[in-house]
Structure 1
Amino acid sequence: MTPENAPKSRWSDLDRPPLNEAALRHSLLQPGGLWTSLDIVAETGSTNSDLAARAGSLEEGAVLVAEVQTAGRGRLDRTWSAPPRSGLFFSVLLKPGADVPVERWGWLPLLAGVASATGLARAAGVDMYLKWPNDLLVKIDGEERKTGGILAERAGDDAVVVGIGLNVTLHTDELPVPAAGSLALANAISTDRDPLLRAVLRGLEQWYGDWRAAGGDPGLSGLQEAYAAGCATLGRRVRAELPGERSVIGEAVALDSDGRLVLSTEGGGRQAISAGDIVHLRPAG
């Protein structure tokens, strides 16, 4: 059998080794901790969909990781795809329950953004930025590029599934669009996915615990301040593309207590944006 005809194994690409499931479970599944189970699958359509379908039978803190997703989704049902083992594609099951009023659950994707950005900055040695509401940015040759995204979805009455997709080792010719990026292209000091995943999950555990202990209060838990500090959208002139093919242009001046982006519009008015796509119209600073 020639090398070209040899069947590919999970170790075929030595630059992209598989995640170490046993080691990750050993380090993350601790008594009294948030994470209660961790499963890694070679391939699936969407970890969010899979975890949501099983939410009723799983404990809070279930983690599902896929080495490749064939039908990964972002906001507005946009697709998210990448070569096998080139990134981190995972979802977690959270059940805030009676500790946090439902109206504050909208902070969960922002919380996941803060946890991901701070964890990756430490583990990968790359400056991370948050684009409201759910994008993770890096700078490549001085240009902001999206390297990750977050999608939070309700799963029944008492649960939320938070999915995170992150480009880790994608090369330029593998990027889905020119505006995308990866940790490798941002000159990360490490692209070992095991410590990167541990860093994000530990950050999530800490921020979620603090937020839940504060009854979901974004001010008391420090979440609102932390998100604002890392948000590349604030202080920028932006265009908010809203549902119904509407748009509004203004300067992003604040993040309110509901996690909405507050725009200062022409004429001195202010408008709080709760959902929509944000386009940065001028550089920060």
Structure 2
Amino acid sequence: MTPSLGPGTGPASRWSDLERPPLNAIALRRALVRPGSLWTSLDIVTATGSTNSDLAARAADLPEGAVLVAEEQTAGRGRLDRTWSAPARSGLFFSVLLKPDVPAERLAWLPLLTGVATATALARAAGTDMALKWPNDLLVTVGRGEDKEERKAGGILAERAGEHGIVVGTGLNVTLRADELPVPTAGSLALADAVCTDRDPLLRAVLRSLEEWYGKWTAAGGDPVASGLQAAYAAGCATLGRAVRAELPGDRTLTGEAVAIDGHGRLVVATADGRREPVGAGDIVHLRPAD
């Protein structure tokens, strides 16, 4: 992997954008990697295809708590094999290696836990209202009055890494400008009028929040109720109470109202004929009344 560029080093090309300084690896390690912490290492690379793929490839040789951050991802992945791309140093693109000692049936809560931790941290550190779209999207509100709309500013992807490891990757648009958006429905913290877009304190806040939530969840044996995770996710989930269309495996669709998150982390959809169907996998579309 390519080592990170420090301030004042490297070619004066795309890395010389003063509005997008490089992350400070030394300061981040000093703040996060310490005795008793969940985080055991923190590496920053200038560019890579996917932090999830890189960390998963090394998972067998790493302890729990390894963190890999990229200033730029060239082949970032989201759910359903979607791509994730953004200009260099315009966001936070990182993966963490976790090895939770919890029952297998509770592991589905891990990406939801990461969403709660990230949204909570950014609401404090960036001063931006964050919402969660089931199962793994981070939403911000862009615009005001009648023109305001929810947009996706980030996403989370959890993948198995070896027998016991899980790599959880997060991609978050921080300073992405309107003319840089990959699609019109994308957003960023800057476009949501965040009071802070300095990536160093934002990354510290997210990793500290993730450590706190992960600690509570694992201490409770992965129980989403005892750890408070289920209630916290429901409170921050923009999908609940909305009309949705679930696009399910096998080319099946389900339309109804999202009414709950069940004990397995599934979205419960109430249909017009009175059924309540849990959805564990698929793509969720928030519907407007006209839809």
TM-score range, shorter chain: over 0.9
Match of 2:176 in 1: 170
Deviations, residues 80-114 of structure 1 (Å, cap 9, x unaligned): 000000000000000013xx111111100000000
Q: Give yes or no for contact 2:78–2:84 (8 Å, CA) kept in 1.
A: yes
Q: Distance in 2 between matches of 1:11 and 1:72?
A: 19
Q: How does 1:193-204 map to 2 (within 5 A)?
A: 193-204=199-210
**What corresponds to 2:259 in structure 1?**
253
1:132 — aligned with what?
A: 134
Partner of 1:40: 44
Which residue of 2 is the match for residue 85 of structure 1?
89
Q: Which runs of 4+ in 1 moved over 6 A?
A: none
**Paired position in structure 2 for 1:123:** 125
Aligned runs of 1:17-28 on 2, under 5 Å?
17-28=21-32
TM-score under structure 1 length normalisation: 0.95
1:106 counterpart = 2:108: yes
Q: Residue 3 of structure 1 corresponds to which residue in structure 2?
A: none
Q: Deviations over 1:203-256 (max 9, x none)?
A: 100000000000000000000000000000000000001112111000000000
Q: What's the counterpart of residue 218 of structure 1? A: 224
Cα deviation for residue 11 of structure 1 reads 4.8
Contact 1:10 1:17 in 2 (8 A): no
| Structure 2 length-normalised TM | 0.93
In structure 2, the partner of 1:67 is 71
**Secondary structure in structure 2 of the residue aligned to 1:233:** coil
Unaligned 5+ runs, structure 2? 1-9
Would the aligned equivalents of 1:44 and 1:66 in 2 still touch at CA under 8 Å?
A: yes
> Residues 61 and 92 of structure 1 are in contact (CA less than 8 Å); yes or no, is this contact kept in structure 2?
yes
Q: Is the 8 A contact 2:244 2:256 kept in 1?
A: yes
2:262–2:268 contact (8 Å) kept in structure 1: yes
Contact 2:14–2:88 (CA under 8 A) maintained in structure 1:
no
Name structure 1 gaps, 5 residues minimum. 1-5
Structure 1 residues 188 and 69, CA, compared in 2 at 3 Å: closer, same or farther?
same
* Cα distance in 1 for residues equivalent to 2:121 and 2:137: 15
CA RMSD of aligned residues (A): 1.2
Q: Percent identity?
A: 76
**Aligned partners of 2:49 and 2:217: how far apart in 1?**
31
| 1:2-48 CA distance string (max 9 Å, x none) | xxxx9525751000000000000000011011000000000000000
Question: 2:150 is matched by which residue type in structure 1?
Answer: E
Q: For 2:16, what is the secondary structure of its paired residue? A: coil
Aligned to 1:54, the other structure's residue is in SS state: helix
Q: CA–CA distance in 2 between the matches of 1:128 and 1:110?
A: 14
